[in-house]
Amino acid sequence: MKFRNTFNTLFFLLVLFGFGIVNLAFFQSGSVSSLEQRNLVRRPAFSLDRFISGEFPREFDDYFSDHFAFRTLMAKAGAYLMEFKGLPDKNEATILQQGGDNTSQNLKPGNGTGAAANTGQAVQYLIFKDRAYTLFKYSEPSAERYADALNRFKSAVDPEIRVYSLLAPTSADFIEEEKYRELSYSQKAAFDHINESLNPEIKPIDAYGMLARHIDEELYFRTDHHWTALGAYYAYVKLMDALGEEPVPLNSYLKGEIKEFLGSAYKATLSFRLRAHPDTIIYYEPAEKYTYTRYSTAGKEIEGGAVDPEYAKASGGLYSVFLGGDFPWGEIQTEHKNGRKILVVKDSYANALIPFLIPHFENIYYIDPRFFSGSLTGFVKEHDISEVLFLNNSTVARSQGIAELINKRM
């Protein structure tokens, strides 16, 4: 018995130290994961205060997890095994449950959203053929909370300011196989409930109906939860109809493409089926003259184009071709001296739509409440806003996070 205990102890120490030596020898020192197309966590700075508070150990744990020896190999193996989970007919469809999507960034305790931020943030991806769909789970309290937030905003600003609500559906409502569509709650029904709960002076924009009429076109990415620029364009057409404006024809824009795009659904699932069928991002550059300035969380001014393929880096995500990615707020100044100034309170779905607004407004502002820390109503007053568009995807009808942030930033 004594010999066995000694042997077990020595074996345990051998495995422990051997594993440590192997990890040190093959520790990944890169800054970008080409497999997941994202930045890896950087080594945290050490200080005694941060060590005592526990902040440094937590950050170092994240750093270690991102740079673990053979991490990429094990991630690939794990993704392969995950392909065996899900529906009985694994050759046809698979359901994978992962973390939050791009829309839920920054919705966590500590930024003012409280427990509501954690409601409904888990995401289920359906991998069907060569495409991923984000399954939708409806939360009536979340939907009503979002409508209430918009109503509170409308009551808090000048009555002359026109307020619009555009709810963007994800692709799950448009799956070709009905049996897989039925895995999600109807986003149309959720949107109808939100719209019915809005102040009558807030005008809903039926982007859903417009997209449904063009669903045979490439309105959504296969490997990402966003709509494409074409999907955003059709929503823009519907918005212009509500505003009494003539939309600019799509062929008036300079068209470009970015190949080998693996988006948020691939990053979350590392599905081999998605990796074998990467997307091509089609973008449309505005022909008109304008200036675009976005502001970082540190308040730094960054100038550039509203649509620019130079933004599309693997580390930051190729979808950043639109607006450069997600920032607290930004401003586009055009040469149209018509006095019309619009504010878009948005999530990342709006990034592909906002550039289409350039021909119609003198100034276009956007605020992303996930990162913005100022006052929405104060911003409207300071910049003499004439119109406000709330543009968010169906996440607002499954999670209270965005509604809580709008209320907090009121």
**Do residues 357 and 364 touch, judged by C-beta distance below 8 A?**
yes
pLDDT category of residue 17 using cuts at 50, 70 and 90: low
pLDDT surpasses 60 at 194: yes
Question: How remote is the C-alpha of 169 from its chain's centroid?
Answer: 13
**H or E element that contains 141:** helix 140-156
**pLDDT computed for residue 63 by the predictor:** 62
DSSP state of 286: -
Amino acid code (one letter) for 343 = L
Q: What is the pLDDT of residues 228-278, one digit of tens each?
A: 999 999 999 999 999 999 999 999 999 999 999 999 999 888 888 899 999
The dihedral region occupied by 114, where left means phi > 0, alpha psi between -120 and 50, and beta the remainder, is: left
**pLDDT computed for residue 225 by the predictor:** 94
**pLDDT computed for residue 342 by the predictor:** 98
**pLDDT computed for residue 123 by the predictor:** 83
Rounded distance between C-alpha atoms, residue 11 and residue 5, angstroms: 10
DSSP letter string, 203-223: EEE-HHHHHHHTTTS--B-SS
- When pLDDT is averaged across residues 294-312 and rounded to a whole number, the result is 92
Q: Where are the beta strands (DSSP E) in 146-305?
A: 162-168, 202-205, 254-261, 279-285, 290-295, 301-304
> Which tokens belong to 117?
């931020």
Q: CB-hemisphere CA count at 13 Å for 38?
A: 15
**Do residues 296 and 302 touch, judged by C-beta distance below 8 A?**
yes
- SS3 at position 94: strand
Amino acid code (one letter) for 69 = A
Percent of the chain with pLDDT over 90: 62
**Do residues 262 and 274 touch, judged by C-beta distance below 8 A?**
yes
> Which tokens belong to 344?
């878009």
Closest listed residue to residue 350, CA positions, set 226, 190, 173 = 226
**pLDDT computed for residue 87 by the predictor:** 44
pLDDT surpasses 50 at 214: yes
**pLDDT computed for residue 377 by the predictor:** 96
Q: What is the pLDDT of residues 140-184, one digit of tens each?
A: 999 999 999 999 999 999 999 999 999 999 999 999 899 999 999
Residues β-bridged to residue 65? none
Rounded distance between C-alpha atoms, residue 138 and residue 141, angstroms: 9
DSSP state of 183: T
Max CA pair span of the chain: 90
The whole-chain average pLDDT of the chain stands at 83
Strands 123-128 and 131-134: antiparallel
Percent of the chain with pLDDT over 70: 74
Query: Exposed, middle or buried by CB within 10 Å (0-12, 13-18, 19+), for 169?
Result: buried
DSSP state of 139: -
**Do residues 270 and 243 touch, judged by C-beta distance below 8 A?**
no
Rounded distance between C-alpha atoms, residue 322 and residue 393, angstroms: 17
Q: CB-hemisphere CA count at 13 Å for 214?
A: 18
185 Cβ neighbours under 8 A, 6+ residues apart = 136, 137, 138
